[in-house]
């Protein structure tokens, strides 16, 4: 059982290029990999801020010890158990908001952490939101990205399939994909569930967690 259903339904809205629900309703690592090269769009005060997704991580429910859903359903992770294609935004380390997109069928918890984007539209606004002068550091990490795009917990539970404030567009999808273990986790490092665009200048600084108890 691979858990990867074949896509039979329309995944992209032809008129707008927006990703639709069936795109997100798949096996979480598949969604994470397939999000590379797509365009994350945030609308603030009528302006589009956008960027090409270049780095993601998959977090899957009950059998993934690094997932917020590992210990079951709570008020915080509730949205991970709902329909796919919604935002899961939480506050971490007392400083940073993290943007995730929910995945899998309703009842099966899963989410993809968006870790970095290459700015496309509104790059100067994103740099100003961050207080930096270089394009490369405007959204190169999950905490930096949410600051650049003005994303906080008021956007938790947003339906990206219908939202006018936050959604994903099809994009060019030309990326050469590389894989590693995830960043900043203490458990579950043996899962190679971080996906990134090989050679991109816009990746996060985080180092993948050392694979614990790696087999010789």
Copy the structure tokens of residue 20: 């639709």
Which segment (31-39, 118-126, 130-138, 158-166) binds DNA by CB under 7 A? 130-138
Q: Which is nearer to DNA, 96 or 150 (CB)?
A: 96
Copy the structure tokens of residue 23: 């795109």
Copy the structure tokens of residue 16: 């707008």
**Which neighbouring-strand residues pair with 180?**
194
Question: What part of residues 177-216 is at the interface with DNA (CB under 7 A)?
Answer: 182-186, 204-206
Question: What part of residues 139-168 is at the interface with DNA (CB under 7 A)?
Answer: 141-145
Which residues, 6 or more positions from 51, have their beta carbon under 8 angstroms from its beta carbon? 39, 40, 117, 118, 119, 120, 126, 139, 202
CB of residue 140 to DNA, shortest distance in Å: 7
Q: Which is nearer to DNA, 50 or 144 (CB)?
A: 144
129 binds DNA (CB under 7 A): no
Q: Which is nearer to DNA, 25 or 57 (CB)?
A: 57
67 binds DNA (CB under 7 A): yes
Which residues, 6 or more positions from 99, have their beta carbon under 8 angstroms from its beta carbon? 87, 88, 89, 113, 114, 142, 145, 146, 149, 151, 155
93 binds DNA (CB under 7 A): yes
Distances 91 to 55, 67, 147, 152, 192 between C-alpha atoms, Å: 19, 15, 12, 8, 24
Q: Which is nearer to DNA, 40 or 113 (CB)?
A: 113
- Which residue in the set 100, 108, 129, 181 belongs to the binding site for DNA (CB under 7 A)? 100
- Which residue in the set 46, 94, 133, 216 belongs to the binding site for DNA (CB under 7 A)? 94
Side-chain-side CA neighbours of 182 within 13 Å: the count stands at 25
- Residues in touch with DNA (CB under 7 A): 57, 59, 66-69, 71, 74-77, 80, 88, 90-96, 98, 100, 111, 113, 130, 132, 137, 141-145, 182-186, 204-206
């Amino acid at each position: 059982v691979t858990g990867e259903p074949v896509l039979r339904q329309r995944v992209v809205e032809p008129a707008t290029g927006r990703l639709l629900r069936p795109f997100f309703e798949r096996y979480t690592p598949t969604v994470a990999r397939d999000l590379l090269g797509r365009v994350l769009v945030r609308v603030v005060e009528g302006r589009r801020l956008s960027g090409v997704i270049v780095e993601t991580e998959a977090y899957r429910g009950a059998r993934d010890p690094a997932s917020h859903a590992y210990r079951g359903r709570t008020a915080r992770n509730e949205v991970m158990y709902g329909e796919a294609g919604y935002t899961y935004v939480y506050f971490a380390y007392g400083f940073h908001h993290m943007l995730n997109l929910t995945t899998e069928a309703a009842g099966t918890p899963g989410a993809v952490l968006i870790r970095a984007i290459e700015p496309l539209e509104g790059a100067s606004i994103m740099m100003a939101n961050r207080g930096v002068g270089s394009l490369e550091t405007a959204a190169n990490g999950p905490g930096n990205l949410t600051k650049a795009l003005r994303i906080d917990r008021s956007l938790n539970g947003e339906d990206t399939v219908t939202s006018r404030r936050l959604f994903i567009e099809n994009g060019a999808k030309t990326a050469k994909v590389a894989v590693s273990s995830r960043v900043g986790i203490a458990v579950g490092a043996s899962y190679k569930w971080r996906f990134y665009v090989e050679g991109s200048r816009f990746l996060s600084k985080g180092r993948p967690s050392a694979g614990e108890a790696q087999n010789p």
